[in-house]
Structure 1
């Protein structure tokens, strides 16, 4: 596995007037909120060194979908809790934050007056594009003026080239920019305002879901066999016929089973059962490792990598680290690799051409590549009963190797 860290020393924070508001909205790093009551009883307990801490557990509920290898959070309340307290999951109709409903409401209001994160990003990109056009026009005009002055034998007037620090979008240019509330909406559905419903759900990866279930105990997962999924031409609805949640052992087996039989995920074949090189175990070992160190772990398909790591979250910083490029599972016993029913990606050594390509791309986006190696314990030295519980994760080890491309022109200092 691999990671990426920005090379730049400044500018990694996301600016804007909403920073203070984001600090208030995303103040809790995890779904569990700890608070202490101020009362006479708590004061007496503090004198004896007994903590009087209250734990607010949101107790969210999701539906396991083995086809997409994910857990769906259909309640908008639970979705916002998991997103705002640790940035877990991704909106299925949004880029990251589940904001489809807000975008639909904004499109019916004052044309971008209330903007979501996706709309702010599109507006910023449009302004950046306009700046490049203005700068190119100014450079062409200055070159034409210099050429005319040279032909006439006079001194050319000083050229004014726009810079990124001083350039401001003109009113006429802004009016020509596409409305971000409308141009963004590839998934826009024309629905009367009085009948507008939030049809988006939060989609958790199996690693995120199991972290919330096993470590924080704030998520319960409903058995997919008790859930009917009803699709229509504009939306889908989930109707829980029986709200009996799965226990930890059944979740542990079901999450591993999704990598065993692609056609019938609920069936675990004998060849796949009890394997320590199951992709779910390998990916979760890396996910748990970085989450336990305080990183916010997100999917890294944007950079063709496995994971993006943020210090606090996407709304505060750009990606600090990415478990990028490739996954690197290390199998202790070569015999396990030969008998493995899984096609573990990147289990073979990478080529130098690939490493040079990835390292060069990462230097252009000002990030540092980190290769993460997950050591898989040998089947021969492990008890077959150990893998029946999450206790087997203690036998996995994670190591990192940081790679940076040496650029002489930039690193002389």
Structure 2
């Protein structure tokens, strides 16, 4: 069965994996790691509801991660914790996978002789291989038609325009992959052949899982601070970090301090710290119910999903644009923030065209960095600013504005 689909679609793709949608609704039923269990409707429940009481139980998992300062991420090594964080909100990504941590499943599938259901990455690899083979077969067919037209012109002197479509030219709707060739029979007495090894035993031990879930710093802090379902360990002291320690460590990781030094050096915190800017945007959209994923594939900072990547394609692309309230703060800053300076229209047109072609709406999210002069700092000493930024309470001084950019296409928007 071919995975190639006709590309002449008129609008965005609304669903993915339609055949597995019901199964995905059960696997990814919870949008967040925190789960609310509602008791069945009874008279007691109705009576308690009138009194403002409830019997709802809140289940908060306790996942564990290790802070890695070199990669600016938090590693979740437990497979159970990784499954919870991925299936309940699509947090993190497998370090050996494209998104979902499926390295172990791929290794098990590779060791089974009978085959099994393909993982998402194997489906993507198969689809890309088929798309490549389809283009090769189509190019060969067009070249054959052109050669036939040239032969007619040389022999009969008649001009024949080569057709780019027809029964001889495969299309996405008619092309089918060639069947896999039958395995070559080898002598049974040849050493090292599959006949000598025999089929894989069912009770054979599975391979060791070498993959871990990698959380970005905004994801890790959101899980720890807002949902209280993640604890982080300091790799230098092997002790659990407090909220204040995590907040300072995540900011320090973007200031390029010496790595693997205990105790960590005290650095001057700044209002335009990249971790604070990115966390504000991540927290903003997560609090509005969007699933936020990285968008480097489409040259943006974040992608916004309604339910998750297994249900729908992302509808919006987000570019984070820091804006200094006081230009003097930008001149005095030692950090060179991405997109802080005005970008060229050619860059904006390029990014917008890339996202328009994949049916995504580009959003410029402006994060206003507060002016240092209007902050309630007791003195002009840099230590006072560090004290203000030592707590997430400083987020109240930032603001977020959004601008939607749409590419004008005269041929499509004439109606």
Q: TM-score range by the shorter chain?
A: 0.7 to 0.9
Are residues 8 and 372 of structure 1, via their aligned partners in 2, closer, same or farther at CA, if it must alter by over 3 Å? farther
1:231 aligned residue: none
TM-score, length basis structure 2: 0.81
* Residue-by-residue CA offset, 1:4-30 (whole Å, 9 max, x unaligned): xxx963424223422221111111111
Which of 20, 36, 39 is 1:37 aligned to? 39
Which of 274, 281, 285 is 1:286 aligned to? 281
Which of 206, 212, 219 is 1:201 aligned to? 212
1:380 aligned residue: 373
Are residues 173 and 353 of structure 1, via their aligned partners in 2, closer, same or farther at CA, if it must alter by over 3 Å? farther
Which of 161, 164, 170 is 1:162 aligned to? 170
2:20 aligned residue: 18
1:44 and 1:117 map into 2 onto residues whose CA distance is: 47
- On the 8 A contact 1:261/1:267 being kept in 2, the answer is no
Are residues 352 and 169 of structure 1, via their aligned partners in 2, closer, same or farther at CA, if it must alter by over 3 Å? same
- Aligned-pair CA distance for 1:44: 3.8
2:236 aligned residue: 225
- On the 8 A contact 1:33/1:56 being kept in 2, the answer is yes
SS of corresponding position for 1:255: helix
Paired residues in the alignment total 371
TM-score, length basis structure 1: 0.81
Which of 74, 84, 87 is 2:87 aligned to? 84
- Higher-RCO chain (CA-CA 8 Å, sequence separation at least 6): 1
- On the 8 A contact 2:74/2:220 being kept in 1, the answer is yes
- Aligned-pair CA distance for 1:69: 0.9
* Residue-by-residue CA offset, 1:176-199 (whole Å, 9 max, x unaligned): xxxxxxxxxxxxxxxx96372112
The correspondence of residues 212-291 of structure 1 with structure 2, limited to 5 A, is 212-227=223-238, 244-264=239-259, 267-270=264-267, 272-273=268-269, 275-291=270-286
- Aligned-pair CA distance for 1:345: 1.7
Which of 393, 400, 409 is 1:398 aligned to? 400
Are residues 308 and 268 of structure 1, via their aligned partners in 2, closer, same or farther at CA, if it must alter by over 3 Å? farther
SS of corresponding position for 1:338: helix
Are residues 193 and 349 of structure 1, via their aligned partners in 2, closer, same or farther at CA, if it must alter by over 3 Å? farther
Are residues 162 and 282 of structure 1, via their aligned partners in 2, closer, same or farther at CA, if it must alter by over 3 Å? same
- Aligned-pair CA distance for 1:410: 2.8
- On the 8 A contact 1:260/1:269 being kept in 2, the answer is no
- Aligned-pair CA distance for 1:148: 5.0
- On the 8 A contact 2:13/2:313 being kept in 1, the answer is no
* Residue-by-residue CA offset, 1:44-100 (whole Å, 9 max, x unaligned): 423434222111111111111112111110100000000000100011111111111
2:298 and 2:140 map into 1 onto residues whose CA distance is: 32
1:173 and 1:297 map into 2 onto residues whose CA distance is: 43
What 5-or-longer segments of structure 2 have no aligned partner? 1-8, 184-202, 377-384
1:181 aligned residue: none
1:89 and 1:22 map into 2 onto residues whose CA distance is: 18
- On the 8 A contact 2:13/2:312 being kept in 1, the answer is no
- Aligned-pair CA distance for 1:111: 6.5
1:124 aligned residue: 127
Which of 288, 312, 329 is 1:336 aligned to? 329
The answer to whether the aligner puts 1:27 opposite 2:17 as a matched pair is no
Deviates more, 1:158-167 or 1:24-33: 158-167
The answer to whether the aligner puts 1:64 opposite 2:59 as a matched pair is no
- On the 8 A contact 1:70/1:203 being kept in 2, the answer is yes
Larger radius of gyration: 2
1:83 and 1:343 map into 2 onto residues whose CA distance is: 33
1:91 and 1:111 map into 2 onto residues whose CA distance is: 26
- On the 8 A contact 1:65/1:71 being kept in 2, the answer is yes
Are residues 163 and 173 of structure 1, via their aligned partners in 2, closer, same or farther at CA, if it must alter by over 3 Å? farther
* Residue-by-residue CA offset, 1:198-225 (whole Å, 9 max, x unaligned): 1211010010001001111111111222
2:355 aligned residue: 362
1:87 and 1:211 map into 2 onto residues whose CA distance is: 13
1:182 aligned residue: none
2:195 aligned residue: none
- On the 8 A contact 2:17/2:310 being kept in 1, the answer is no
Deviates more, 1:47-56 or 1:328-337: 47-56
Query: What is the CA RMSD across the aligned residues, in angstroms?
Result: 2.8
